[in-house]
């Protein structure tokens, strides 16, 4: 019997960490092929910020074509010049909502704020939680919380 999978992607985190660490871009097709091999993807959600530009729209359509549901939040520029575009609560709610339908949750993010969520899924819901993140930019607490940690390295970047 194939393992049932939930995939949750923190798009902004993946974008900025792969750009900072490798000056590269994440290969979502290669990732999907790797993570879904021999497993059934029950739900896959990519959480992104909507700036409304053409390149982003094309990227979102690529994600949809791969099999992701794309959830968008508007980009908010504060009066002080800082920006807000955070999906932590949305990712957490969806993870808890869909966890009962799957065996494994795959989280693409290096954000240490997710360590409590990952602990909860692993300990209280008895789920396998795989975390993918850029090694030097992934919180140690998140790596420790995961059932298994997979570093995002050159093999998961666009050539």
Cα gap 14→10, rounded to integer Å: 6
Answer for the pair 157, 18: CB distance below 8 angstroms, yes or no: yes
Average of per-residue pLDDT across 62-88: 85
Q: Any residues with CB less than 8 A from the CB of 97 and at least 6 apart, and which?
A: none
Answer for the pair 11, 47: CB distance below 8 angstroms, yes or no: yes
* Assigned token pair, 125: 């819901």
Question: Helix 54-66 to helix 28-36 angle, to the nearest 10 degrees?
Answer: 20
The pLDDT of residue 77 is 74
Spell out the CATH class of 3-47+86-156: alpha beta
Read off the pLDDT of residues 34-48 as tens digits, 9 standing for 90 and up. 999 999 999 999 999
Average of per-residue pLDDT across 77-81: 75
Residue in the structure block whose two tokens are 């140690």: 140
| Lowest mean pLDDT segment, chosen from 29-33, 86-90, 95-99, 115-119 | 86-90
Q: Any residues with CB less than 8 A from the CB of 91 and at least 6 apart, and which?
A: 8, 10, 45, 47, 107, 109, 114, 117
**Mean of all residue pLDDT scores within the chain:** 94
Domain boundaries, the chain: 3-47+86-156
């Amino acid at each position: 019997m194939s393992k049932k999978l939930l995939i949750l992607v923190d798009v902004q985190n993946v974008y900025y960490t792969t750009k900072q660490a490798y000056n590269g871009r994440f290969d979502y097709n290669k990732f999907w092929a790797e993570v879904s091999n021999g497993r059934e993807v029950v739900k896959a959600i990519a959480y992104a910020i909507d700036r409304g530009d053409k390149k982003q729209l094309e990227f979102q359509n690529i994600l949809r074509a791969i099999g992701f549901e794309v959830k968008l939040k508007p980009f908010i520029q504060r009066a002080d010049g800082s920006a807000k575009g955070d999906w932590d609560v949305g990712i957490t709610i969806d993870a808890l909502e869909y966890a009962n339908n799957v065996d494994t949750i795959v989280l693409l993010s290096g954000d240490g704020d997710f360590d409590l969520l990952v602990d909860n899924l692993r300990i209280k819901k008895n789920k396998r939680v795989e975390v993918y993140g850029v090694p030097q930019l992934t919180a140690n607490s998140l790596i420790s919380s995961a059932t298994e940690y997979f570093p995002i390295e050159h093999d998961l970047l666009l050539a």
